[in-house]
């Protein structure tokens, strides 16, 4: 897991305009590339000798290949938009950080079942979301199928099927209620959580892609 960190010093005269643009336009556009898992924006609490206000935006990315794809396919175009809007009124520099470990406070007893069929099967993603690797059992969800549409062109979704013989393969994990809320944040607005009965008889939560009115995934 890597963090792509962008540190920006912004002139006071455009500070509020830039901040609104970052939150409403730029960061959503970066995440819409499908390359990053999440973004954290922070204000650097130092008084700059040359004036201005400094911010740090940290984008989490799964691996080097995905970050390199962002550099090749998306970075130049997004930087041009920044220059067009704000020119030389800001200075930015970029660094890459490798996540070595994440430590969190002990969790409560794990009593909630989660069925995963996609990215949460990846141990690196599990470490990012839960700060640990999950131990699960293979299971299946009947009357559901994998959608041909992917969120951001990368992340799989499933949908309910009219064919009772359709089946989605995955694993079921036991997590805490607090960890389930972490999954809510990770999956974001593109997914909805639903309680289902797995082939094993286990009652578990699963995340399905939200549907548009025309029947296609959002």
State phi, psi for 23 to the nearest 5 degrees. -75, -35
Write the DSSP symbol of residue 106: P
CATH 3.30.70.100 at 2-98, yes or no: yes
- CATH architecture of the domain formed by 112-209: Roll (3.10)
- Alpha helix segments (H runs only) across the chain: 15-21, 27-32, 64-70, 76-86, 123-130, 177-187
The predicted pLDDT at position 218 comes to 37
pLDDT per residue as tens, the chain (218 positions): 899 999 999 999 999 999 999 999 999 999 999 999 899 999 999 877 778 999 999 999 989 999 999 999 999 999 999 999 999 899 999 999 998 877 766 555 678 999 999 889 999 899 889 888 998 999 999 999 988 877 777 788 898 888 888 999 999 999 998 899 999 998 888 889 999 999 999 999 999 987 553 443 33
Domain boundaries, the chain: 2-98, 112-209
Model pTM above 0.85 = no
């Amino acid at each position: 897991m890597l963090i792509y960190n962008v540190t920006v010093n912004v002139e006071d005269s455009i500070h509020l305009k830039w901040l609104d643009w970052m939150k409403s336009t730029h960061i959503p556009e970066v995440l819409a590339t499908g390359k990053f898992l999440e973004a954290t924006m922070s204000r650097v609490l130092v008084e700059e000798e040359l004036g201005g206000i400094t911010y740090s935006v940290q984008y989490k990315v799964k691996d080097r290949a995905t970050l390199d794809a962002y550099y090749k396919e998306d970075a130049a175009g997004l930087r041009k938009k920044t220059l067009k809007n704000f020119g030389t009124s800001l200075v930015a520099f970029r660094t890459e950080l490798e996540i070595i470990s994440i430590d969190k406070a002990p969790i409560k007893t794990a009593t909630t079942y989660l069925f995963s069929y996609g990215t949460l099967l990846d141990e690196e993603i599990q470490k990012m979301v839960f700060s640990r690797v999950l131990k699960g059992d293979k299971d299946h969800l009947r009357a559901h199928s994998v959608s041909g549409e992917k969120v951001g062109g990368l992340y799989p979704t499933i949908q309910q099927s009219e064919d009772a013989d359709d089946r989605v393969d995955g694993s079921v994990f036991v997590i805490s209620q607090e960890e389930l809320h972490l999954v809510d944040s990770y999956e974001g607005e593109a997914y909805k959580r639903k309680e289902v009965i797995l082939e094993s008889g286990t009652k578990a939560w699963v995340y399905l892609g939200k549907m548009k009115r025309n029947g296609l995934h959002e």
